[in-house]
């Protein structure tokens, strides 16, 4: 019974979001353009549960490249309106569109000449009429059986805020590199900030041998550099293959006399490589996909210039 009721709540809220789709029209486009052209800050405001939604939208906008913050409407009437400056855009969230604290901000918003966008449940309300753009986020019913606690209505407003933020970041050309700069802390920041060049081993640490060398020399290189493999290059220094511990084991199982064989006869041609400017997370993805523990980094000419090991990614917290 409780599980069934939980499903009903989720169904009502899912329907509220889906009902927003046919409501999207030129008003949504205008709102995105207004936000994209904003030369000030985007100021979110709302009271009660709508205020919580407004705070989340402000956080999402700020984390995706749009300077934004939350202004509590009640505090706005007691001095915090000083946070507003010409050039800002205000986004107000209100289901009724008649929230006293929000309506009380209208004279100051108009006096400063600020653009007002509202996410509102009643398109005929005061806030909707006084706005530059009113986006309809009305719902057929709340999930609350008493129709008192904001549930489906706040879910719909939050989803519309996400839609605005995502379309806006695309319009701004916001990239994963931009995202990384705004999220330097935690696992997400590490995955987005670390690049292969920051973690790779270069110079004397790079195991490398020519394809005409003998396998006994390759064994020495593999053992000395301790990556479980060595890059193989031709006479011009271009990468032609690799010799790995696995190659050595397979050759021994076939009864091959390794010590006197040439490297080119035992190497694996066309090894996996990665660019030094790639994200370290991409190196991890390649390693996991191909079940390998090391990746060679080559320059634009195809010459090995570094190596990165799974342990490097572990130590950096990329995994």
Nearest to 64 by CA among 194, 163, 157: 163
From 143-147, 242-246, 277-281, 282-286, the region with the lowest mean pLDDT: 143-147
Q: Considering only the C-alpha atoms of the chain, give the largest distance between any 2 of them, rounded to a whole number of Å.
A: 89
pLDDT of 259 > 80? The answer is no
pLDDT of 50 > 70? The answer is yes
Calculate mean pLDDT across residues 248-253: 79
Residue 145's pLDDT band (cuts 50, 70, 90): confident
Nearest to 147 by CA among 296, 255, 12: 12
Q: Among 3.20.20.70, 3.40.50.12500, 3.10.580.10, 3.40.50.300, what is the CATH number of 196-316?
A: 3.10.580.10
Tokens (6 digits) for 296: 């060679």
Tokens (6 digits) for 193: 């900030």
Residue 246 has what pLDDT? 83
With 0-12 CB in 10 A as exposed, 13-18 as middle and 19+ as buried, what is 155? Answer: buried
Pairwise CA distance, residues 216 & 111, whole Å: 83
Calculate mean pLDDT across residues 201-218: 93
Residue 178 has what pLDDT? 63
**Which CATH number does 2-174 carry?**
3.40.50.10490
Residue 78 has what pLDDT? 81
195 or 127, which is more confident:
127
pLDDT, tens digit, for every residue of 159-195? 999 999 999 999 888 776 666 666 555 556 666 678 8
pLDDT of 319 > 90? The answer is no
Residue 79 has what pLDDT? 79
- The full length of the chain comes to 319
Residue 253 has what pLDDT? 78
Calculate mean pLDDT across residues 202-214: 94
**Residue reference for tokens 């292969």:** 196
Domain map (residue ranges) of the chain: 2-174, 196-316
With 0-12 CB in 10 A as exposed, 13-18 as middle and 19+ as buried, what is 113? Answer: exposed
What DSSP line would sit under 160-190, residue for residue? HHHHHHHHHHHHHT--HHHHHHH--SHHHHH
């Amino acid at each position: 019974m409780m599980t069934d009721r939980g499903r009903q709540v989720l169904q009502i809220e899912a329907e509220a979001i889906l009902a927003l789709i046919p409501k999207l029209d030129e008003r949504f486009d205008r709102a995105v353009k207004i936000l994209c052209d904003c030369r000030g800050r985007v100021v979110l405001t709302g009271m009660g549960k709508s205020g919580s939604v407004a705070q989340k939208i402000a956080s999402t906008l700020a984390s995706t490249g749009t300077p934004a913050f939350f202004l509590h409407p009640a505090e706005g009437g007691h001095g915090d309106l000083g946070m507003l400056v010409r050039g800002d855009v205000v986004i107000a969230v209100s289901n009724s569109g008649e929230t006293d604290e929000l309506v009380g901000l209208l004279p100051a918003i108009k006096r400063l000449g600020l653009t007002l966008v509202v996410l509102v449940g009643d398109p005929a309300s005061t806030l909707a009429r006084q706005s530059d753009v009113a986006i309809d986020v009305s719902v057929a019913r709340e999930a609350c059986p008493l129709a008192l606690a904001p549930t489906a209505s706040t879910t719909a407003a939050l989803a519309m805020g996400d839609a605005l933020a995502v379309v806006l970041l695309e319009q701004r050309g916001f990239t994963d590199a931009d995202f990384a700069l705004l999220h330097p802390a935690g696992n997400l920041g590490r995955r987005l900030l670390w690049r292969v060049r920051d973690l790779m081993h270069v110079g004397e640490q790079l195991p490398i041998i020519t394809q005409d060398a003998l396998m006994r020399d390759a064994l020495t290189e593999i053992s000395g550099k301790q990556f479980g493999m060595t890059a193989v290059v031709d006479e011009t220094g271009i990468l032609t293959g690799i010799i790995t511990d696995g190659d050595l084991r397979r050759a021994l199982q076939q009864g091959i006399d390794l010590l006197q064989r040439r490297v080119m006869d035992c190497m694996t041609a066309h090894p996996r490589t990665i660019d030094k400017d790639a994200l370290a997370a991409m190196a991890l993805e390649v390693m996991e996909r191909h079940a390998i523990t090391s990746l060679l980094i080559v320059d634009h000419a195809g010459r090995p210039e570094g190596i990165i090991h799974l342990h490097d990614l572990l130590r950096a917290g990329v995994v």
